[in-house]
Chain A
Amino acid sequence: MTDKMKSVKKIQRRQSFANSIGALFFSLLLGMVFIYAMGYSPIESYKAIFGISLGTVKGFALSMSQATPLMFTGMAFALAYRVKMINTGAEGQLYIGALSAALVGVYVTSLPGFVHVPLALAAAFIAGGLVAGAVALAKAYTGANEIILTLMLNSVIIFFTSYLVNGPLKPEGSGVGQTEKIAETAKLTRLIPQTQLTTAIILAIVVALLAEFLINRTVFGYEVKVTGHNFTAAKVAGINVSRISILTFALSGAIAGLGGAAMVLGVNYRFVDGFSSGYGFAGISIAALAAYSPIAVIPSAMLIGILRAGTITLSRTTSIPVELVDLIQVLVIIFVAAPTMIKPIYKMRDRIIERFKTRGKTHGGEEI
């Protein structure tokens, strides 16, 4: 890579970083308007939210455990978007992954932990991948819109899993829809005792690193980038664009499936009917905040996790609803997608580029 290309890349990275920070800042600011309208002090509320999530070990553990499934769904959306496909199906893939992991966790027994856990994770990975792969296949062959298809599949999967855990899979005497408890050997290790923070977060980080490597250091990743950037050019260059799109989309679904497994093996220890509180859709916002880079999804998910954990705790004592976070998440998508909407972000971005340009010159770099 030439120096010029490197500096272009650096500028782009700084640009999107400034965009994301600005978007998050303005979303939180607009969230304050809503808190005020609800009759609470915005500053006190934010103080409480961040105080809870960052002030105590328990709060921090809750934040990070909230962030864990979001890391997976965020990565899922980010990866699919690299081939300009929109994976709104993370919610369904999360459910199917969770169910597969729970089935392996409950019904495959007498295995040592170091085999049982990977087996359950693999089941979730494959299930999520198959569902998403089927969608991408349908798109490639019939031109079906993947957004509507995944959204419809979400409903089908959520209803079907609900049927299973309220019917054939329901343990005797259980009042709510859920499976049996998974075996001890299938449980993930807790990082902090008596919290929901488990080794799943380490898995998420490892997956992010692998995804980053795949995108930036392999031939497959190169073809993904070309396909996403210019579909026609990729075709002309001899890249099998449908194969690349299908594989990437399947991988995206597989990662979302892992998120479901993390919930089952680390938090609930069983599949619980309707367990996800919108983790799938939160992934869109997290991916946007991360500028669709798998590794940047990790800190983005942590930020949203901190916000969620604080708001969940706050909603128990006040009437500030958890949906406040949903609103902030949507605002983040809006401001990341249309950064010119907020002039200050635009100006800040320009200033950063300007500074970078002049610095580049003093070091004898080329003008770009």
Chain B
Amino acid sequence: MIITTELILSILASTLRRAVPLLLASLGGTFSMRAGVIDLGLEGMMLAGAFFGVLGASITGSAWMGLLIGIIFGIIFSLVHGVLHVKYKVNGSISGMVVNLLAAAVTPLVLTGYFGTTGKSPMVESFTNPKWEWLDNIPFIGPVLGGQNILFYLSIVLVIVSWIFLYKSKFGLRMRMVGENPEAASAVGLNVRAYKYFGVLISGAYAGLAGVYLSLGQMNLFVEEMTAGRGYIAVVINAFGRFNPIGSFLGSLFFGFFDAVQTVFQSFLPSQLVMMTPYVITIIVIIFGLKGGKAPAGTGKHIEN
């Protein structure tokens, strides 16, 4: 195989494209974990966002309306997690898995019910890449950034906004306090449950957006189980990035890179072995890469009524 500048640039562009859904979902996970609620439901919220985004775009004929509807359904699915865990005090891992299984069951049901198809939806309006000639003409940067769609730029903005919110705002500080020590937060008069709900719902919005990126950003239709475990990988990225938006950004680039290079190997290795790589990398990171990083101390803890 010959390594050319072109190949490297295309891998870099592909790295960014594949990092976006991971980044958005793990940013969402950050909010959830910082409020002390485990973020195991990201996969399901993402799948819901991907499907209902397509449904919304199909009904309204607009990708932006699809995006809005995808986010709303991400939030609705996160509410299931929130209500079960925060209100009914169900183990957060179980309630997270419930969201994943619920989305895996509901999306094909509605797919068959509404579109009358199985496996995938018909094609709908999707996001197109913005045409910025000045950007395309810059050497090296042009070919890498030129291939990105508008949701990529949005996700970069969201990294900064999330970081400022968590570390520079009073509200973010209080939310982190709830995540670290709900008892103490409650003692100083914070509404612990409200903060937990807030964290979970924001994670649903981000994960919904991540799903929309998969179905309306990278493609123009919904394919059954199209999230393919990205929500779980996002959980790992979130921990890998020490529950910090900047860490999530770097972690997503790392995983996005491995996702991008695997396509290079597809030409001379059996596809199944190539498709295994992101999961193998994730397992290696779980076992060797998470040492020393601790989840917020109050994760899964409830306050007495």
Q: Which residues of A contact B (CB under 8 A)?
A: 34, 37-38, 86, 88, 138, 142-145, 147-149, 151-153, 155-156, 159-160, 162-163, 166-167, 281, 284, 319, 321, 323-324, 326-327, 329-330, 333-334, 337-338, 340-341
Contact = CB atoms under 8 A, between A and B. Distances in A.
B23 interface: no
B276 interface: yes
B283 A149 contact: yes
A57 B291 CA distance: 56
A147 B98 contact: no
Nearest to B40: A147
Interface in B253-299: 270, 272-273, 275-276, 279-280, 282-283, 286-288, 290-291
B118 interface: yes
A337 B90 contact: yes
Contacts of B93: 86, 147
Nearest to A163: B272
B272 A338 contact: no
B98 A334 contact: yes
A337 B97 contact: no
B232 A148 contact: yes
B250 interface: no
Interface string B99-142: 00110111011001100101000000000000000000000000
Contact of B97 (A147, A152, A326): A147
7 contacts: A144-B287, A152-B233, A155-B229, A155-B276, A319-B112, A337-B94, A337-B95
Contact of B88 (A34, A151, A162, A341): A341
A145 to B, nearest CB: 7
A155 B283 CA distance: 11
B235 interface: yes
B161 to A, nearest CB: 27
Closest 3 CB pairs of A and B: A326-B105, A163-B272, A338-B88
B236 interface: yes
B272 A162 contact: yes
- Most chain-A Cβ atoms within 10 A of its Cβ — which of B91, B101, B112, B228? B101
A143 B102 CA distance: 28
B238 to A, nearest CB: 11
B84 interface: yes
Contact of B236 (A148, A159, A338): A148
Contact of A319 (B116, B235, B287): B116
The B contact surface, by secondary structure, is: helix
Contacts of A148: 40, 232, 235-236, 282, 286
Contacts, number: 115
B101 A333 contact: yes
B90 A338 contact: yes
Most buried by A among B108, B232, B280: B232
Contacts of B106: 327
B286 A152 contact: yes
Contacts of B97: 86, 88, 147, 284
A279 to B, nearest CB: 13
B229 A323 contact: no
Contacts of B229: 151-152, 155
B248 to A, nearest CB: 16
A317 to B, nearest CB: 14
A88 B286 CA distance: 16
Which among A147, A319, A329 has the greatest number of chain B C-beta atoms within 10 A? A147
Given A321-B118, A329-B105, A338-B84, 17 more contacts: A38-B112, A144-B290, A148-B282, A152-B282, A152-B283, A156-B280, A159-B272, A163-B272, A166-B270, A166-B272, A323-B105, A324-B109, A326-B105, A327-B102, A333-B101, A337-B91, A337-B94
Interface in B65-112: 80, 84, 88, 90-91, 93-95, 97-98, 101-102, 104-106, 108-109, 112
Contacts of A281: 101, 104
Contacts of B90: 337-338
A34 B105 CA distance: 12
A321 B276 contact: no
Nearest to A282: B101
Given A155-B276, A162-B272, A321-B109, A144 B84 contact: no
Contacts of A86: 93-94, 97
A330 B105 contact: yes
Contacts of B279: 152-153, 155-156, 159
Nearest to A143: B290
Contacts of B88: 337-338, 340-341
A159 B283 CA distance: 15
Contacts of A329: 101, 105
A338 B95 CA distance: 10
Contacts of A34: 109
Interface string B140-175: 000000000000000000000000000000000000
A330 B98 contact: yes
